[in-house]
């Protein structure tokens, strides 16, 4: 299941050429992932309060077309894999105006505690695990 949200490119996100600086795409992935959880009524901040962290352990982005200042960008986020202590998200970013694919990416995360030790999320939060699994 793709869950989508939109953002508008701010001037500060662009470089001297008027193109979005490449590192900002990872911020947009974070926005997409946060909204993905929110749309499932999973509050990421609440998980953190309970000692569950989801650090990024791998990330990549394929830049296809440049995004520019004031473009409205649609961020579509999909949970691709949920296994063991890991989960993987896939992202597709489109320019809303013409539905042009501008980038694709993925991030892999691990369920860890505040000491960065892997935890068995499935056992501890079965209901949330099952809800996440239903989106694949």
Extents of the domains making up the chain: 3-134
Catalytic-labelled residue, pool 15, 70, 113, 130: 15
Q: What confidence score (pLDDT) does residue 57 get?
A: 97
SS3 state of residue 114: coil
Q: Which bin fits 65, alpha (ψ -120 to 50), beta or left (φ > 0)?
A: beta
Examine the residue annotation and report whether 113 is marked as an active-site residue of this protein.
Answer: no
- List CB contacts of 73: < 8 A, sequence separation 6 or more: 6, 7, 8, 9, 28, 67, 93, 94, 95, 96, 102
| Class of domain 3-134 (CATH, top level) | alpha beta
Residue 46: the pLDDT is: 87
For 29-48, what is each residue's pLDDT tens digit? 999 999 999 999 998 888 89
Block residue for tokens 């860890």: 112
Residue 1 in this model has a pLDDT that exceeds 90? no
């Amino acid at each position: 299941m793709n869950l989508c949200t939109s953002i508008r490119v701010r001037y500060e996100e662009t470089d001297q050429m008027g193109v979005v600086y490449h590192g900002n795409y990872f911020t947009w992935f974070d926005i997409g992932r946060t909204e993905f959880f929110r749309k499932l009524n999973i509050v990421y901040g609440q998980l953190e309060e309970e000692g569950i962290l989801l650090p990024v352990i791998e990330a990549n982005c394929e830049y296809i077309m440049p995004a520019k200042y004031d473009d409205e960008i649609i961020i579509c986020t999909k949970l691709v894999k949920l296994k063991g202590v890991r989960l993987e998200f896939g992202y597709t970013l489109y320019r809303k105006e013409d539905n042009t694919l501008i980038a694709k990416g993925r991030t892999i995360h691990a369920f860890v505690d505040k000491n960065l030790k892997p935890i068995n999320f499935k056992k501890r939060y079965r209901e949330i695990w099952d809800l996440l699994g239903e989106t694949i």
